[in-house]
Structure 1
Amino acid sequence: MKTSVLVVGGGLAGTSAALFLAWRGVDVVLVEKHPGSSLHPRAVGFNARVGELLRAVGLEGELPVSRMTKGFGVRRVRAESLVGKKYDETFWTPPAQLSDIEYSPSKGVGVAQDKMEPLLRDKARELGADIRMSTRMLEFSQDGDGVTAVVQGDGEPYEIHADYLIAADGHRSPIREQLGITRTGRGFMHTSRSVLFRAPLQEYLKDGIGQFVIDDVGFLTTYGDGRWVLMLDDREYAEPELRQKIVQAIGRDDLEIEIITTGRWTISAGVADQFSQGRIFLAGDAAHTLPPSRGGFGANVGIEDAHNLAWKLAAVINGESRPSLLDTYDAERRPVATLCHQQIFARNDGHNRDGEPEDAPLIDNNAMHYGVLYRSDAVLGAGPELPRAQLPEQWNGQPGTRAPHVWIEPGKSTLDLFQRGWVLVADHPQWEEAAAGLNVHYERVERLDVFGLSAKGASLVRPDGYVAWRSTDLPDDPTGTLKSAFSSSSAGTR
C-alpha cells in the first residue's frame, strides 16, 4: 500500500503527528506495536501551549481543565509522610514576577497520558488517519523516492511505501539506532521501580501540594484522578512489601489501597545529534529523552515536534513548498530540545543527584512554554544575537517567536486566526492588496502593538502560528516586499 506519511509509534508524539497531518488533509498511516496505551499513566499535566494546538484542531473543548493551571498539584515538599510533618518546599524555578498579562486563550490539560492518547487517536481517526494498533514495523529502507517499511499485524507481513516516515518509536528508537544517529546529553542516570495504586487521598491535596519526597521511602505523586504513583529504589518488591511502602508513604494504615500495576523505569537524558536523515524524521522521545520535570518538557515538547513537522510535510506534499523547507525542522526543534535538557538540570528538580547541576541561568517557565525562538531559513530576522527564550511581552512579535495572544472579540483570540495557512496581520489597504496575489490570507487586526508594529506595519504568520517576517512600517513597495518574504520563508530558503 502507499501513503504520504508513515508514522511509527503510537505514543503522544506519534499520535499527535497523525492528528495534525490528518487535520491538514495529508494521507497518513500510523503503526503501533501495542494494542493500546500503557497501564502506566506516565505524563500528566499538558501545558497551555499544547492546549492551543488542540484548540485549533477542535479537541480542546473535549478535555478537562488542568488543576495545574492555578499551580495546584505542582508544588513539591519533603515530608515524613503524606499526612505527616512537611519540611522544606523544593522550588524548581525562580519566583515569577507578578503580572496581569494573559499569555494564552487556552488552559493546561489535566489528563494522564493513558487517557490522553485514546482521545488523540479517536480524533485522528475522525479526521481520516489510518491508525493500526498491534502492528509492528519489521524493517525499513529509504531511497530518493520514499521509504518502504515491512509491517505485520495479525496476519502476514506486508509493505507500506510512504513519501516520508516519522520515527516516534520511543527513547530506545530502533529507527534512530539503524540510521546511526548519536545522542548528546547526560545519558543514563538511574533506574527506579514504581507502584501505581488507587486510594482515597484527595483531602491531602487541598493545600496545592501534589508531589512528596518521603523520607526513607521514595517519591509520591498524584495523577489527580484517584491514582497515585510511588517511585522506589531499583530492586524486587513482593506485594506485601509494596503495601507496606505505600502505607509508610501515606502515613495511614486504615485506607483501602488498590494496587493497579508496577513498573521499572530507566531515567536517562539525551538529544539526538540530528532530527532527520533523508526522508525520515525523529519526533518525541526518539529525538530527545527528557526526564520527567515540573516544566513538563518531555511530553509537551514531543507534541510540539509533531506540530512543527506536520505543517511542513503538508506544504511539501501538497506542492506548496520546496523540500528544502523540511530542513528547518531540525534547525528549529533541536535547539529547543537542547535548551529543555539544559533547563531540567539547571533547576533543582530532583535529577541533580545523578551529577552536578547545569551552570546556566534559569529561564521563566512562561518563556519556555510561549517564548522559545526559532532560527532557520523559514524565519527572516532572527539573528544569533537574540536570546533562545524570553517572555512573549519581551519579544513583542519578534520573527521566530509564537504570534502573541490578545482577545480581538469575546471568545476569539488572535491565535484563532492562525494554523490553517499563511496569514498576513495588518490594518492597511496596501497590505491587503499585497496579500491578494499570494497564497496568504489577510487578517485585519487593530491591536498591532502586540506584534511590535506601527499602524502601517504587517506581520507574516506561518501555518504553525509562528511569525516568519514582519515590516514594522509600510515600505515603498509592499507587494514586492511581501512577495519576497513569503517566497523565502515558505520555501525554507533565503
Structure 2
Amino acid sequence: MRTSVLVVGGGLAGTSAALFLAWRGVDVILVEKHPGSSPHPRAVGFNGRVGELLRAVGLEGALPASRMAKGFGIRRVRCASLVGERFEETFWTPPAQLSDVEYSPTAGVGVAQDRMEPLLRDKARELGADIRMSTRMLEFAQDDEGVTALVQGDGEPYEIRADYLVAADGHRSPVREQLGITRTGRGYMHTSRSVLFRAPLEEYLKDGVGQFAVEGVGFLTTYGDGRWVLMLDDREYTEPELIDKITQAIGRDDLPIEIITTGRWTISASVADRFSEGRIFLAGDAAHTLPPSRGGFGANVGIEDAHNLAWKLAAVIGGESAPSLLDTYDEERRPVATLCHQQIFARNDGHNRDGEAEDATLYDNNAMHYGVLYRSSAVLGAGPELPPAALPEEWNGQPGTRAPHAWVEPGRSTVDLFGRGWVLVADHPQWQEAAEGLTVHCERIEHLDLFGLSAKGASLVRPDGYVAWRSTDLPDDPAGALKAAFSSVSAGTR
C-alpha cells in the first residue's frame, strides 16, 4: 500500500498533520492504536494562532461555543476552596499592559481535547485523509527512497510504503526511541492523580477565573463545558475519598457530583535533540514534552509543528521545492520548543511544586503566540542579533515572523491572504511585473507600514503565513531581487 505521508499517532499533533496535509492535497494515511480520543480531555486552551490555522482550513465555524473562548480560563487564584476565600491571583507572565493593538482575526479556542480531536479527524477525512483508528504500527524501516511500516488493525498485519513518516506518537515515542534521538530538559518533575467530574459550578466562573490552587487539596480547573478536573497527590483513592476531595475543593457538599473517569499523569519537560532523521519527522509530544501548568504551550506548539511541516512536505512532494527545504523544519521548530521550555520555568506555576521560577527573560503571551522568530535557510534577514520573540508591533513585518494582522475589508484579514501558496505583498506595479513567471501571487494592500515597507516596498510571505524576505523600498532590479530571494527561500538554501 502506497502513500505520500504516513502519520503515526492520532492525537492533536498527528491529526492536525493529517488535516493540513490533506488540505494541501497530499496523500496521507494516519494510524492510531486507540479506537478514539482519551476519555480524559487533557488540553483545553488553544491560542489565537491555532485559531487562525483552523480558520484557514474552514473549521472556525464548526467549533462549539465555549464560555471560555476569550482567554480560555487562564486566570488562576490560590484559594481556600472554590467558594471560599481567595488569597491572590497568580500569573504565568506579569499582567500585560493595556493595549489597543488587535493581534488576530480569531480568539483563543476554549474546547476540550476530546471534543477538538473528532472535529479535526472529521475535517481531515472530508479533505481526503485516510485515518485508521485501532491500528498500531508494529515496526518500521527507512531507506533513501522512503519508509516501510508494518501496521495491524483488526486483521492480519500489512505493509504501508510512504515517502515520509511523521511520528506524533506521544512523549514516550517508540519511533523516537528506535531512532536513538535523545532529549534535553528538566526531565521528570512529579506524578499526579486526577479525577474528572461533572458538577453545576458555572456560577463560580463569572469573574473569569478558571483555575484554582486549593490549599491542602490540589489543583482544580474547568473545561468550560460542565466538566472539571481535580489534580491530586499520587496515591490510590477510593470513590468515597475522591468525592470527599472534590467537596473539599469546592467548599460545599450539597451539589450533585458525577465522577466521569480518573487518570494518572507523569509530568516532565524535555525537548528532542533533533526533530528529524532522514525521512522521519517528530511532532507534538514526540518532539517536545511541555507541561501545561505554566503556559499551556504543549498542544498549541504541537499543532503549529504540524502546520510548519505540512506545507514543506507538500512543496517537496509536489516537486515545487528541493528536499533541502525539509531541513528547515528542525531549524525553525526546535528553537521554538526550546524557548517554550525556558518560558515554562521562567513562569510561576501558582504553587511552586517543582521549584522556584528560573531567572530568565519573560516574553508576553502575545509575543509567544504571534511573535516567535524563525531563523533558517527558508528566511532571509533574520540575524542572530534578534530576540527569539517579540510583540508583532515591535517586529513590524520582520522576516522570520508571522505576517501581521490588519483588516483589509469587513470580515477579511491580511492573515486570510496567506496560507495556500507564496504571496508577494506590495502596492507598486513593478512588483506585480516582477512576480510574473514565479509561483507567487501578488496581493496589493494598503497596510504596507505594518510590514515595515515604504510605498514601493514588498514582502514575500511563505505558505505558512511567515515573512520569508522583504525589500523595504524598490530596488534597481525588482525582478532579479525577487527571483533570487524566492529561489533561495523556497528551496531552503542560502
Is TM (by shorter chain) over 0.5?
yes
What SS does the aligned partner of 1:245 have? Answer: helix
The Cα shift of 1:72 comes to 6.0
- 8 Å Cα contact 2:71-2:108 kept in structure 1: no
The Cα shift of 1:118 comes to 0.1
Q: Which runs of structure 2 are paired with 1:67-466 in the superposition (5 Å)?
A: 67-71=67-71, 73-293=73-293, 295-350=295-350, 352-466=352-466
**AA in 2 matched with 1:397:** G
Deviates more, 1:435-444 or 1:91-100: 91-100
Q: Deviations over 1:155-198 (max 9, x none)?
A: 00000000000000000000000000000000000000000000
Aligned twin of 2:473: 473
- 8 Å Cα contact 2:272-2:287 kept in structure 1: yes
Q: Deviations over 1:28-50 (max 9, x none)?
A: 00000000000001000211100
**AA in 1 matched with 2:134:** S
Q: Does 1:484 align with 2:464?
A: no
The Cα shift of 1:355 comes to 3.3
**What is the alpha-carbon distance in structure 2 between the residues aligned to residue 92 and residue 53 of structure 1?**
24
Structure 1 portions without partners, runs of 5+: none
The Cα shift of 1:295 comes to 2.5
Distance 1:332 1:72, change over 3 A: closer
**AA in 2 matched with 1:132:** R
Q: Deviations over 1:285-307 (max 9, x none)?
A: 00000001353200000000000
Structure 2 portions without partners, runs of 5+: none
The Cα shift of 1:69 comes to 4.9
Distance 1:65 1:405, change over 3 A: farther
Distance 1:384 1:351, change over 3 A: farther
The Cα shift of 1:65 comes to 5.1
**What is the alpha-carbon distance in structure 1 between the residues aligned to residue 492 and residue 67 of structure 2?**
39
Distance 1:66 1:450, change over 3 A: farther
**AA in 1 matched with 2:464:** D
TM-score normalised over the length of structure 2: 0.99
- 8 Å Cα contact 1:45-1:66 kept in structure 2: no
**What is the alpha-carbon distance in structure 1 between the residues aligned to residue 72 and residue 266 of structure 2?**
28
**AA in 2 matched with 1:213:** A
**What is the alpha-carbon distance in structure 2 between the residues aligned to residue 68 and residue 397 of structure 1?**
31
What SS does the aligned partner of 2:14 have? Answer: helix
- 8 Å Cα contact 1:64-1:109 kept in structure 2: no
The Cα shift of 1:476 comes to 0.4
- 8 Å Cα contact 2:294-2:347 kept in structure 1: no
**What is the alpha-carbon distance in structure 1 between the residues aligned to residue 351 and residue 183 of structure 2?**
19
What SS does the aligned partner of 1:82 have? Answer: coil
The Cα shift of 1:353 comes to 2.4
The Cα shift of 1:142 comes to 0.2
- 8 Å Cα contact 2:45-2:72 kept in structure 1: no
**What is the alpha-carbon distance in structure 2 between the residues aligned to residue 190 and residue 479 of structure 1?**
57
**What is the alpha-carbon distance in structure 1 between the residues aligned to residue 156 and residue 448 of structure 2?**
58
The Cα shift of 1:436 comes to 1.2
Aligned twin of 2:49: 49
The Cα shift of 1:350 comes to 4.1
**What is the alpha-carbon distance in structure 1 between the residues aligned to residue 195 and residue 57 of structure 2?**
35
The Cα shift of 1:73 comes to 2.2
**AA in 2 matched with 1:237:** Y
Q: Deviations over 1:225-244 (max 9, x none)?
A: 00000000000001111111
**AA in 1 matched with 2:171:** H
**What is the alpha-carbon distance in structure 1 between the residues aligned to residue 177 and residue 183 of structure 2?**
10
Deviates more, 1:211-220 or 1:318-327: 211-220
CA RMSD of aligned residues (A): 1.0
**What is the alpha-carbon distance in structure 1 between the residues aligned to residue 215 and residue 355 of structure 2?**
21
Q: Deviations over 1:415-439 (max 9, x none)?
A: 1111100000000111000111101
The Cα shift of 1:491 comes to 0.1
Distance 1:366 1:67, change over 3 A: farther
Q: Does 1:64 align with 2:64?
A: yes
**AA in 1 matched with 2:256:** E
- 8 Å Cα contact 1:74-1:294 kept in structure 2: no
Q: Deviations over 1:57-113 (max 9, x none)?
A: 111111135544544622111111111111121122112111111000011111100
**What is the alpha-carbon distance in structure 1 between the residues aligned to residue 64 and residue 106 of structure 2?**
12
The Cα shift of 1:356 comes to 4.3
Deviates more, 1:80-89 or 1:64-73: 64-73
Distance 1:322 1:468, change over 3 A: same
**What is the alpha-carbon distance in structure 2 between the residues aligned to residue 275 and residue 435 of structure 1?**
34
- 8 Å Cα contact 1:345-1:352 kept in structure 2: no
**What is the alpha-carbon distance in structure 2 between the residues aligned to residue 72 and residue 265 of structure 1?**
22
Q: Deviations over 1:98-140 (max 9, x none)?
A: 1111000011111100000000000000000000000000000
**What is the alpha-carbon distance in structure 1 between the residues aligned to residue 389 and residue 44 of structure 2?**
24
**AA in 2 matched with 1:127:** L
**AA in 2 matched with 1:142:** Q
**What is the alpha-carbon distance in structure 2 between the residues aligned to residue 365 and residue 75 of structure 1?**
13
**What is the alpha-carbon distance in structure 2 between the residues aligned to residue 372 and residue 356 of structure 1?**
25
**What is the alpha-carbon distance in structure 1 between the residues aligned to residue 339 and residue 73 of structure 2?**
25
Distance 1:340 1:29, change over 3 A: same
- 8 Å Cα contact 1:425-1:445 kept in structure 2: yes
**AA in 2 matched with 1:2:** R
- 8 Å Cα contact 2:35-2:134 kept in structure 1: yes
**AA in 2 matched with 1:238:** T
TM-score normalised over the length of structure 1: 0.99
Number of aligned positions between the proteins:
494
What SS does the aligned partner of 1:261 have? Answer: strand
What SS does the aligned partner of 1:340 have? Answer: helix
- 8 Å Cα contact 2:421-2:463 kept in structure 1: yes
Distance 1:335 1:67, change over 3 A: farther
